[in-house]
Chain A
Amino acid sequence: MGKCMQGYLDEQFMELEELQDDVNPNFVEEVATLYFKDSARLINSIDQALERGSFDFNRLDNYMHQFKGSSTSIGASKVKTECTMFREYCRMGNAEGCLRTFQQVKKEHATLRKKLEHYFQLARQAGPKETARRSK
């Protein structure tokens, strides 16, 4: 992973890269795609819930729990950190904290998405060998 990824993705991401092989040549990208699809949906749900202003903390926490789970699976460390904060605010029933943190979650999520898109693009251009090298 290049420097640009540092901090954004943890060793879990590397584990995923390990799983990529000839049988699964685009595994990481596939997983990333699934992740962003899922997480986009969750973000939407949370957004809507927050906009409603009802602040059903339980529900919010549930959404975030899922979101955090997939973020963890893909190794999205910064996103994960923000998710944790969000959940803390939920537990405390702190609406403002939730709103604020959620903005952070979205920000990190968007940043990660861009970075990964870039990363995969480069990987594709470079070819398999290059990808392997990059992964190190």
Chain B
Amino acid sequence: MTVEQDCVALDQFPVGMRVLAVDDDQTCLRILESLLHRCQYHVTTTNQAQKALELLRENKNKFDLVISDVDMPDMDGFKLLELVGLEMDLPVIRVTHGACDYLLKPVRIEELKNIWQHVVRSRFDKNRGSNNGDKKDGSGNNEGVANSDPNNGRANRKRKDQYNEDEDEERDDNDDPSSQKKPRVVWTVELHKKFVAAVNQLGFEKAMPKKILDLMNVEKLTRENVASHLQKFRLYLKRISGNQQAIMANSDLHFLQMSNGLDGFHHRPIPVGSGQNVLQNPTDLGKFHHVSSLPLNHIDGGNILQGLPMPLEFDQLQTNNNKSIIAGNSMAFPSFPTQQSSLPNNNNHLVLEGHPQASPSAFPGHQINKRLEHWSNAVSSSSSTLPPAQNSNSIIIGHQFDVSPLPHSKPDSLEWNTQNASSSYSIPFCDSTIPLTSSMNTNPRAFYRTTDLDSNANVQPGVYYDSSQMRQSGNYGPTTDAMLSSNPKEGFIVGQQKLQSGFMGAEAGSLDDIVNSTMKQEQSQGDLSEGDLGYGGFSSLRTCL
């Protein structure tokens, strides 16, 4: 099935990634083809944009990435990108002679080696947001190769540093805000409800952080907290509304779920509309019900699930036992039993693996971050840091994070990073007040793509909300995206958390696995001794800025 194929494809990332190269200039096309072959990608070429569209339409799953020249006579490269992005959700990388585009001619092999990241990112995005697993999410298109964007590099470096810093801090005192950091805010359901109520009262479009803050009237909540939460929320909504008819209410719940793993919303939101039944065990259901019982501001109460954009992956996770998201997760969270068996690494697309060495007290994130760093240094070297079970996919992810050229949504990263220390929550809002905002600004684009980098708001709403969501399969989706987009490190961490439950949406299958595993874990574990590190472990730590 598609999922299988996708899994397989992802598994081989970057090797074997199927690229469609489009350029009306035969010379450039030939060179590009050769470069791509060198990277061990599977290449199809055409010198006509129209033909490219036909090829793509013929079988949407035939390609992972499209790389296209922008100055073509029969169709503008931008237009192609748009069409591809809209119809097929494939990431598209543009090549140009010009000064400010993603890949400058002459195309260099180093740049091509990084292009798979786009796919990963967009997949994440897709998984997170979409219900239907069959499409690949091309939202990340605009990200472009980082190489050519110095800003990205800077931003990334900056984030990286931030993360490192956070990581250290986190390690020391998870619970109290370190002196350098602002106190973290954990966006509990109640808090979020208040937030949403305030937003609704003010009017979504007009809601300003200051006013929201005033309306919410919560002590110790800062305007920055609200601002970043709002940003995440908006992105989340855009994301889900882009994917399905998301109902506000559902979004809330979904959002919270994603973000607040801690409160027992561990499960991933049940995919609405998907045949799959995410909640496999009664416990989960129970939890879910719990969630649904929350009075949502707007919605019809009933169904959180409905209309929630379930990340594709989630469904897939359900069906796919093999996706080894869990494998990754287990590692990260010692508390969870290793579920490696259920998840074959190779298929995971983006499973973030947990660190085997992750200690219960330390937020796995640290390791993740470290891992990310490792990855950034060398993809190949990452394997050494990654647990054996991890398949290349995970590496990719980590790698991705490192090099993610695009400053993707920070929210994700922030969450992740911050999380390191606090594990439980840290991710989503945490700390990163600073990073969040910064990332937020930069990232949106990452996942959604189409036309511009900056437009990605897609960033996963889920991401914001806390790592706890990670547990939830739903979270993974968005988070993953977010992660990827914004910050390699961040994404990684988040992913890690998520991994447990089901990592990244890159592949539907994996998500399913993750979810499954997560759920299983939940079931079996009840409360982790560490305070649910595994899934959530966050709860104990959560501290968000």
Q: Measuring CB to CB, which residues of chain A are less than 8 angstroms from any residue of chain B?
A: 12, 15-16, 18-19, 23-24, 27, 30-31, 34-35, 37-38, 65-66, 68-70, 72-75
Contact = CB atoms under 8 A, between A and B. Distances in A.
B34 A73 contact: no
Contacts of A34: 26-27, 30
A70 B27 contact: yes
Nearest to A71: B27
B51 interface: no
A15 B106 contact: yes
A75 B105 CA distance: 11
B35 A73 contact: no
Contacts of B24: 66
Contacts, number: 56
B39 to A, nearest CB: 11
A37 B25 CA distance: 11
Q: Specify which of A35, A37, A66 lies most central, judged by the most chain B CB atoms within 10 Å of its CB.
A: A66
B31 A69 contact: no
B288 to A, nearest CB: 54
Interface string B31-66: 100110110000000000000000000000000000
Contacts of A30: 30
B71 A69 contact: yes
Sort chain B's interface into a size bin: 10 to 19
A66 B34 contact: no
A32 to B, nearest CB: 9
B27 A24 contact: no
B38 A69 contact: no
Given A15-B109, A75-B106, A24 B34 contact: yes
B31 A16 contact: yes
A19 B25 CA distance: 19
A43 to B, nearest CB: 14
A31 B38 CA distance: 16
A74 B27 CA distance: 8
Considering residues B25, B37, B71, B108, which has the most beta carbons from chain A within 10 angstroms of its beta carbon? B25
A73 B28 contact: yes
A12 B27 contact: no
A65 B28 contact: no
Contacts of B105: 69, 72-73
A98 B49 CA distance: 31
B210 interface: no
B298 interface: no
A70 B97 CA distance: 10
Contact of A72 (B30, B71, B106, B109): B106
Nearest to A69: B97
B495 to A, nearest CB: 34
Contact of B25 (A12, A16, A70, A75): A70
A31 B102 CA distance: 23
Interface in B413-458: none
29 contacts: A15-B106, A15-B108, A16-B31, A18-B109, A19-B31, A19-B34, A19-B38, A19-B109, A24-B37, A27-B34, A30-B30, A31-B31, A34-B27, A34-B30, A35-B27, A37-B26, A38-B25, A65-B71, A66-B24, A66-B25, A70-B25, A70-B26, A70-B28, A72-B97, A73-B105, A73-B106, A73-B107, A74-B31, A75-B106
* B24, B26, B109, most chain A CB atoms within 10 A: B26
A24 B24 CA distance: 22
Nearest to B35: A19
In the A-B complex, the 8 residue pairs with the smallest Cβ-Cβ separation, listed nearest first, are: A70-B27, A35-B27, A73-B28, A34-B27, A12-B106, A34-B26, A69-B97, A19-B34
A108 B107 CA distance: 23
Nearest to A42: B25
Nearest to A11: B106
Nearest to A32: B27
B147 to A, nearest CB: 15
A19 B37 CA distance: 9
A27 B28 CA distance: 13
Nearest to B25: A70
A11 to B, nearest CB: 9
A73 B71 contact: no
B72 to A, nearest CB: 9
Given A15-B106, A15-B109, A75-B106, A69 B34 contact: no
Given A19-B38, A38-B25, 9 more contacts: A19-B35, A24-B37, A31-B31, A65-B97, A69-B97, A70-B28, A73-B28, A73-B105, A73-B106
A58 B29 CA distance: 24
Contacts of A73: 25, 27-28, 31, 105-107
Of the listed residues A12, A65, A70, A75, the one surrounded by the most CB atoms of chain B closer than 10 A to its CB is: A70
